[in-house]
Amino acid sequence: MTQIFTVTELNERIKDRLEDDARLHDLWARGEISNVVNHRSGHRYFTLKDRDSQLSCVLFRSQGSPNFEMRDGQNVLVFGDVGVYRPQGRVQLIVRGIRLDAGLGIRQMEYEALKKRLASEGLFDLERKRDLPKYPDRIGIVTSPDGAALRDVLRIIGPYPALILLSPAQVQGDGAEKSIVLALRALRGRTDVVIVCRGGGSAEDLWCFNSEMVARAIFECDAPVISAVGHETDVTIADFVADVRAATPTAAAEMAVPDLEELRSEILRAEVRMARALWSGLERRRERLDYLSRAISARRMYSLAAEARQRLDYIAERMGTAQKERLKSQRARLELAQGRLEAVGPMATLSRGYAIARSQNGLILRADDVQPGELVELLLAKGRVLARVLECKKDEDVTH
């Protein structure tokens, strides 16, 4: 059946058809500028032409100004999408980027376009950046096995007790992108953190780290990724996708593992704190030693105290002078405590003139434990005495 369109309907249909075609989006075109019109609205209209053909182009104000003064006759590279201006039925290129065509710059535009696209997809989102593990057990490294970067990284993480998994990659030249992607994938499920790195080089050398393939492979890594490509001033797409960007391979390695000295002194501090806590626990209990000497034998207390002292000696050896002094005074207190411990043992007490009084019912601790007339036994430092009770004064406080 023949369909009769209105002009509007027909233009609508052409517009839909052209603008739905993915091949007419995100495209590059090369040509010569003519008929430049800088419209009052801030939009720029021009024609892009070559020897045989020409095409209307529009650069909307929202895209910003090009970094050069547009003039007829300039050779340019433009980036954009094909669209249809319906009121005039005009096919045109909606320009999103424009550069003078000197054979340079096209790669830079690709870089910008890729960066923009990946950013809009969320690959650079801060919310998805993962924290690095504090104490990684397995560290993956994707780099060239022959590069200085690997040696830099190993110098830092070598002394740290983790398994280091090298996933070798070609980091420049043809095939580098593919190689980096495969090396990243090979580490899947095998590491707690991944370092992707290479040393400095020309922009050309580093270019593989600006590839979409590598960006996505980093994004898909199951462990957090630290990237360190080139020197501090080189920032690649890989750096944007990585969970953390380091300025250099050495810096990346320092981020991957904790500082060993720091860790050692942390452990030492834990030792000191434990010994102190144990000591102060002993001290607090000194006031209750009468009670404790019944619950725990004196010998047990001695060995506890001796143990704490041994720890303190050991730690003192490993610590600075100031700390040593402090420990010395603690040790003095400990010895004092030991002396007092001995003092409360029964023999020491008896030798000071005290006696243990017993009846046939056992120890006499209170006046009403015995009756007047009852026989009692007194244990002395040397020997014992049998005695008879004359009187029991129950209600009086007896002070020593």
Binding status of residue 282 toward another protein by CB under 8 A: yes
Binding status of residue 186 toward another protein by CB under 8 A: yes
Return the structure tokens found at 342.
Answer: 């001995």
The CA-atom distances, in angstroms, between 43 and each of 32, 64, 176 are 19, 9, 41
Question: What are phi and psi for residue 348, nearest 5 degrees?
Answer: -60, -40
- Considering only 280, 291, 332, 392, the residue that binds another protein (CB under 8 A) is 280
- In whole angstroms, the minimum distance from the beta carbon of 171 to another protein comes to 15
Site for another protein in 76-135 (CB under 8 A): 133-135
Stretch that binds another protein, among 27-35, 111-119, 150-158, 345-353 (CB under 8 A): 150-158
Binding status of residue 267 toward another protein by CB under 8 A: yes
- In whole angstroms, the minimum distance from the beta carbon of 132 to another protein comes to 13
- In whole angstroms, the minimum distance from the beta carbon of 333 to another protein comes to 17
Answer for the pair 337, 298: CB distance below 8 angstroms, yes or no: no
- In whole angstroms, the minimum distance from the beta carbon of 242 to another protein comes to 20
- In whole angstroms, the minimum distance from the beta carbon of 282 to another protein comes to 8
Binding status of residue 160 toward another protein by CB under 8 A: yes
With respect to another protein, which residue has the nearer C-beta, 150 or 256?
A: 150
- Considering only 87, 161, 362, 372, the residue that binds another protein (CB under 8 A) is 161
- Considering only 9, 266, 313, 325, the residue that binds another protein (CB under 8 A) is 266
Binding status of residue 337 toward another protein by CB under 8 A: no
**CA separation for the pair 235, 104 (Å, rounded):** 19
- In whole angstroms, the minimum distance from the beta carbon of 140 to another protein comes to 9
Return the structure tokens found at 6.
Answer: 């209105």
Answer for the pair 293, 301: CB distance below 8 angstroms, yes or no: yes
Binding status of residue 159 toward another protein by CB under 8 A: yes
3-state SS string over the chain?
Answer: CCCCCCHHHHHHHHHHHHHCCHHHCCEEEEEEEEEEEECCCCCEEEEEECCCCEEEEEECHHHCCCCCCCCCCCEEEEEEEEEEEHHHCEEEEEEEEEEECCCCCHHHHHHHHHHHHHHHHCCCCHHHCCCCCCCCCEEEEEECCCCHHHHHHHHHHCCCCCEEEEEECCCCCCCHHHHHHHHHHHCCCCCCEEEEEECCCCHHHHHHHHCHHHHHHHHCCCCCEEEEECCCCCCCHHHHHCCEECCCHHHHHHHHCCCHHHHHHHHHHHHHHHHHHHHHHHHHHHCCHHHHHHHCCHHHHHHHHHHHHHHHHHHHHHCCHHHHHHHHHHHHHHHHHHHHHHHHCHHHHHHCCCCEEEECCEECCCHHHCCCCCEEEEECCCCEEEEECCCCCCCCCCCC
- In whole angstroms, the minimum distance from the beta carbon of 174 to another protein comes to 19
- Considering only 19, 212, 254, 271, the residue that binds another protein (CB under 8 A) is 271
With respect to another protein, which residue has the nearer C-beta, 296 or 332?
A: 296
Stretch that binds another protein, among 81-89, 157-165, 193-201, 375-383 (CB under 8 A): 157-165
Stretch that binds another protein, among 4-12, 66-74, 103-111, 303-311 (CB under 8 A): 303-311
Binding status of residue 292 toward another protein by CB under 8 A: yes
With respect to another protein, which residue has the nearer C-beta, 23 or 134?
A: 134
- In whole angstroms, the minimum distance from the beta carbon of 301 to another protein comes to 9
Return the structure tokens found at 312.
Answer: 């303190």
Stretch that binds another protein, among 105-113, 170-178, 257-265, 370-378 (CB under 8 A): 257-265
Binding status of residue 180 toward another protein by CB under 8 A: no
**CA separation for the pair 15, 372 (Å, rounded):** 123
- Considering only 70, 165, 367, 379, the residue that binds another protein (CB under 8 A) is 165
| End-to-end Cα, the chain, rounded Å | 126
With respect to another protein, which residue has the nearer C-beta, 109 or 164?
A: 164
- Considering only 23, 40, 51, 284, the residue that binds another protein (CB under 8 A) is 284
Residues in contact with another protein by CB under 8 A are: 133-135, 137, 145-146, 150-151, 154, 158-168, 183, 186-187, 260, 263-264, 266-267, 270-271, 273-275, 277-278, 280-282, 284-285, 292, 296, 304, 307, 311
